[in-house]
């Protein structure tokens, strides 16, 4: 079945540091890939997505590229801010008519000033 | 944009009682709604998928008699935790999807059973 393996946290970085959160997946067919962010006490918000190979999703300075050859969708940001502190989830949705999302375990990110 | 309202945000109940959680799509009709449970330091576990007017499809290992899901209209789905026990304490999140669009999540409900 579908699965998502995500870099375990927690991750603590200083402000303005470079961020990478690794995500790899296993899926049949050609899934869509997502990164969701969960701020403290809130639900999940879509951060970015990519629907086909080599697509790059980007939002709020975050980027992730859909790499079919390595089955990866790593999240990156060049200069993190304190406000980026949250839990980040990598997820996929199979395109075989199954609408449900399969999530990774989440990575808690803390940015210190 | 699409907004999903989930209520209540926090609830504390006594063991043995039932709790109902509501999930409403405020500005769109949701053809499908999903209910997730989030364990501490773990990912979201899909509990069930509900389509308006039909029975929910439960994931393997989820007790359908314990977690009752009703999707009475295109804008409302409810999750009722029946005869709650302390092990049911968790964070429950709903998600709504309209045809051809992405997923919108509610803000979650923190259930504590004492």
Predicted local distance difference test score (pLDDT) of residue A95:
65
* Numbered residues of chain A with Cβ closer than 8 Å to any chain B Cβ: 36, 41-46, 49, 89, 99-106
Predicted local distance difference test score (pLDDT) of residue A107:
94
Alpha carbon distances (Å) from B62 to B27, B35, B48, B65, B109: 30, 11, 8, 9, 18
Interchain pair A42, B107: CB under 8 A: yes
Interchain pair B108, A104: CB under 8 A: no
Segments of chain B assigned E as strands: 4-7, 10-13, 19-25, 32-38, 44-51, 57-58, 67-73, 76-81, 90-97, 103-105, 109-113
Predicted local distance difference test score (pLDDT) of residue A12:
97
Per-residue pLDDT 10s for chain A (113 aa) are 889 999 888 999 999 999 999 999 999 888 999 999 999 877 889 999 999 999 999 999 999 999 999 999 999 999 999 999 999 999 998 865 557 889 998 999 999 99
How far A102 CA sits from the closest chain B CA (Å)?
8
Interchain pair A44, B105: CB under 8 A: yes
Which ranges of chain A does DSSP label H, i.e. alpha helix? none
């Amino acid at each position: 079945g579908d699965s998502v393996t995500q870099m375990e946290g927690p991750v603590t970085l200083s402000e303005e540091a470079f961020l990478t959160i690794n995500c790899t997946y296993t899926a049949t067919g050609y899934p869509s890939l997502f990164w969701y962010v969960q701020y403290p006490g809130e639900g999940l918000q879509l951060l970015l997505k990519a629907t086909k190979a080599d697509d790059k999703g980007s939002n709020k300075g975050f980027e992730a590229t859909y790499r079919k050859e390595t089955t990866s969708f790593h999240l990156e940001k060049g200069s993190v801010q304190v406000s980026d502190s949250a839990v980040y989830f990598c997820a996929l949705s199979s395109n075989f008519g199954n609408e449900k999302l399969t999530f990774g375990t989440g990575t808690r990110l803390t940015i210190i000033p | 944009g699409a907004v999903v309202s989930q209520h209540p945000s926090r609830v504390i109940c006594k063991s043995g009682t039932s709790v109902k959680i509501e999930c409403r799509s405020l500005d769109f009709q949701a053809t499908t709604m999903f209910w997730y449970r989030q364990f501490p330091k773990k990912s979201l576990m899909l509990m069930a998928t509900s389509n308006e007017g039909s029975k929910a499809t439960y994931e393997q290992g989820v007790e359908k008699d314990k977690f009752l899901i009703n999707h009475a209209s295109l804008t409302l789905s409810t999750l009722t935790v029946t005869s709650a026990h302390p092990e049911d304490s968790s964070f429950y999140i709903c998600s709504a999807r309209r045809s051809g669009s992405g997923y919108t999540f509610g803000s979650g409900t923190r259930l504590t059973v004492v």
